[in-house]
Amino acid sequence: MSLGTRGYGFRAIGARELPSIAARAGLDAAQARELAAVAAVLPFRTNRYVLDELIDWTRAPDDPIFRLTMPHPRMLADDDRAEISTLLAHDASAADIRHTATRIRKAMNPHPEGQRTLNRPAAEGESFDGLQHKYRNTVLYFPRNGQTCHAYCAYCFRWAQFVGEPELRMAAAGPDVLIRYLDRHPEVSDVLVTGGDPMIMSADVLARHLEPLLDPRLEQITSIRIGTKALAFWPHRFVSDPDAGQLLKLLTRITESGRHLAIMAHVSHSRELETDVVRHAIRRLQATGAMIRCQSPIVRTVNDSADAWIALWRNEVRLGMVPYYMFVERDTGPRDHFAVPLAAATAIFADAYRAVPGLARTVRGPVMSATPGKVVIDGVTTIADRRVFALRLLQARDESLVGAPFFANHSDTARWLDDLTPAFAPRFPYDQP
Ligand SMILES: *Cc1c(COP(=O)(O)O)cnc(C)c1O
Ligand code: SF4
C-alpha cells in the first residue's frame, strides 16, 4: 500500500511549538509572544502535514493557510491580549492564566444561535445529550470521541468544545441515545455525524457509533452524512493511517447497506485539494461509493475573494466533488477579525458563481445558519428605488417557511441576520407579530 507523499503518523502539534512556527514565518520574538497569548485563550492545534505541505512559507504570515490555522493578534481585543501577555511574561500560575482565559472566553459568545438550548431534544424528562434536531428530516449527532480535529481553524465556531471547559461540551458517549431518539422520530431520514471531526475517531470507535444505524429495522435512515475536515488537514486518514483500510471498509458497508453516504468535506481553500496525498484520499473515498460534498465559510484573509472561490469550486468539480454551501462565519469567538460583511460576501459569491460552469453551480450561498433557519442571500437588487437584499429560507425551524423569500434593507456593514432590518414588510417572516 502506498504511504501517500510521506508515510508519517499523526501527531498533534500545540502551542509549545508556536515559537518555532513564528520564527519560520519570519516573525520576531514580540510577535511570537502575541501568538502565544492568543493560543492561551483560543484553541490551537496543527500537524506536520499542514505545516510542511499546505502553508506557503514564502507568503507567511499572510499566506491564506497560515491565516486559516494560526493564531493572529487581532483574534483577541487589545486589552484582553495585553492582560494575558502580562500574565505569561510574569510566569503567572497556570490557575491564574486559566481564570483570565475563562473570563475572556465567556465574553466571546461560545454558543451562538441558541445551539445549547433551542435545538436540544428532550422528551418526557429524558435528555438526549449529543443530538440536535432542528430541521424535520435531519438529526445532528455529536459522538463524544469525535470532538476534536486534526488541526484547528482559527475561526472555528465550535471552538468552545476544544478548550476543555466541561460545561461547554455537549456530546454522546454512544449511539444508544441516537437509536432511542430515532425510534420515536420516524420522520428523520438523515443523520449528520459531526463534531469536531468524526474522522478523528479510530475505525473501531466510529464503527461502534455508526453500525447500529445500518440495522435493517432502521430503514427510515436513507442518508448518513459525515462532516469532516480530514481531507484538508489530514488526508493520510484515508490513505496511510494504520486503520485507513478498515475505515474505508466501514464506509463501504454503509453504501452497501443501500444508504447514501455523504462526506460533507470542509474545504476552505483550493490549495487543500492540490497535494498528491489529498487526491489519493479523494479517489479512495469515492471508491467506497461515498459522494463528497464541499462546504466552507467565507473568511477574511483566508478566502475572501472571488478568485479564491472560482479556484476552489473548479478544483472540486474536477475531482468529482459537489460544491454545496458557502457559509457566513457565525457570531462567535474571534469573529471581529474574520468577518466578511454580508454585502461583500454576496458580491464575492455572485462574481465567482458567474465565472464557473453549471456543474459548479450546485453551490448555495452566502448562507447564514441562524436561529430561524438557514438563510441564503440570493443577491442585491433595487425595488421601487430601494436597495435591498433578497433573502430566502433554505431550511426553517418552522417548516411552513422553507423556501420563503423575503427582503431586507441593504447595508454595507451588516454581518449577520440580526444586523438587518426588514424591507417592504413590518417584520421578517419568522418574527412573531
Ligand atoms: C445545515 C444543517 C442541517 C442540514 O441542512 P441541509 O440543508 O439538509 O444540508 C441540519 N441541521 C442543522 C442544525 C443544520 O445547521
Ligand atoms: S474543522 Fe470545523 S470543527 Fe474543526 S476546527 Fe475547523 S471549523 Fe472547527
Over the chain (433 residues), what is each successive 10-residue block's mean pLDDT?
59 95 95 94 95 97 97 93 92 92 88 65 72 94 92 85 61 91 96 95 96 94 98 98 98 97 98 98 98 97 98 98 96 83 98 98 97 97 97 96 97 96 97 88
Nearest CA to ligand 2 atom 1: 229
Q: Which of 56, 72, 106 is the last residue of a domain?
A: 106
Nearest CA to ligand 2 atom 8: 156
What is the chain's Cα-based Rg? Answer: 22
Residue 176 in grid coordinates = 444508544
Q: Rounded distance, CA 197 to CA 205, Å? A: 13
CB 395 within 8 A of CB 429: no
Question: What 3-state DSSP class applies to 27?
Answer: coil
The crossing angle, in degrees rounded to 10, of helices 276-287 and 244-256 is 40
The beta-carbon contacts of 398-407 under 8 Å, at least 24 apart in sequence, are 398/372, 398/373, 398/430, 399/135, 399/136, 401/372, 401/373, 401/429, 401/430, 402/373, 404/429, 405/378, 407/383
Give me the amino acid identity at 391: L
Give me the amino acid identity at 288: T
CA of 143 to the centre of ligand 2 (A): 15
- Ligand 2 nearest atom to the CA of residue 232, by list position: 1
pLDDT recorded at residue 128: 83
Residue 424 in grid coordinates = 417592504
Q: Rounded distance, CA 382 to CA 380, Å? A: 7
Give domain status of residue 21, yes or no. yes
Give domain status of residue 122, yes or no. no
Non-local CB neighbours of 396 within 8 Å, separated by 6+ positions: 135, 372, 373, 374, 402, 404, 430
- Cβ(209) to ligand 2 under 6 A? no
The dihedral built from the CA positions of residue 6, 11, 12 and 16, taken in this order, carries a sign that is negative
Ligand 1, residues 119, 325, 395: which to mutate, most atoms within 8 A of Cβ?
A: 395
- Cβ(230) to ligand 2 under 6 A? no
Nearest CA to ligand 1 atom 3: 138
Q: How many domains does the chain have?
A: 2
Q: Which of 74, 106, 138 is the last residue of a domain?
A: 106
pLDDT recorded at residue 334: 76
Q: Which of 78, 106, 134 is the last residue of a domain?
A: 106
Nearest CA to ligand 2 atom 5: 152
pLDDT recorded at residue 331: 76
DSSP letter assigned to residue 105: H
- Ligand 1 nearest atom to the CA of residue 394, by list position: 7
CA of 383 to the centre of ligand 2 (A): 39
Non-local CB neighbours of 62 within 8 Å, separated by 6+ positions: 301
The dihedral built from the CA positions of residue 53, 68, 161 and 294, taken in this order, carries a sign that is negative
Residues β-bridged to residue 386: 383
- Cβ(374) to ligand 1 under 6 A? yes
CA of 422 to the centre of ligand 2 (A): 32
pLDDT recorded at residue 166: 53
- Cβ(150) to ligand 2 under 6 A? no
Give domain status of residue 346, yes or no. yes
Give domain status of residue 45, yes or no. yes
Residue of 343, 288, 294, 342 lying closest to 314 (CA atoms): 294
CA of 96 to the centre of ligand 1 (A): 39
Give domain status of residue 364, yes or no. yes
Give domain status of residue 382, yes or no. yes
CB atoms within 10 A of CB 325: 20
Non-local CB neighbours of 137 within 8 Å, separated by 6+ positions: 187, 188, 189, 190
Give domain status of residue 398, yes or no. yes
Torsion region of 26: left, alpha or beta (phi above 0 gives left; psi -120 to 50 gives alpha): left
Q: Rounded distance, CA 244 to CA 248, Å? A: 6
- Ligand 2 nearest atom to the CA of residue 148, by list position: 4
Proportion of the chain in helix, strand, coil states, percent, rounded to 5? 40, 20, 40
Give domain status of residue 138, yes or no. no
pLDDT recorded at residue 186: 96
Non-local CB neighbours of 178 within 8 Å, separated by 6+ positions: 130, 131, 139, 141, 172, 191, 212, 213
Non-local CB neighbours of 54 within 8 Å, separated by 6+ positions: 65, 69, 232, 271, 272, 275
- Cβ(158) to ligand 2 under 6 A? yes
CB 4 within 8 A of CB 235: yes
- Cβ(132) to ligand 1 under 6 A? yes
Q: Rounded distance, CA 241 to CA 113, Å? A: 36
- Cβ(395) to ligand 1 under 6 A? yes
Give residue 68's domain range. 15-106
pLDDT recorded at residue 118: 67
Q: Rounded distance, CA 429 to CA 172, Å? A: 34
- Cβ(45) to ligand 2 under 6 A? no
- Cβ(370) to ligand 1 under 6 A? no
Non-local CB neighbours of 354 within 8 Å, separated by 6+ positions: none
- Cβ(153) to ligand 2 under 6 A? yes
Ligand 2, residues 155, 156, 168, 201: which to mutate, most atoms within 8 A of Cβ?
A: 156
Residue of 330, 328, 338 lying closest to 391 (CA atoms): 328
- Ligand 1 nearest atom to the CA of residue 192, by list position: 10
Identify which ligand lies nearest to the alpha carbon of 394: 1
Residue 380 in grid coordinates = 442585491
CA of 5 to the centre of ligand 1 (A): 35
Residue of 351, 420, 409, 412 lying closest to 385 (CA atoms): 409
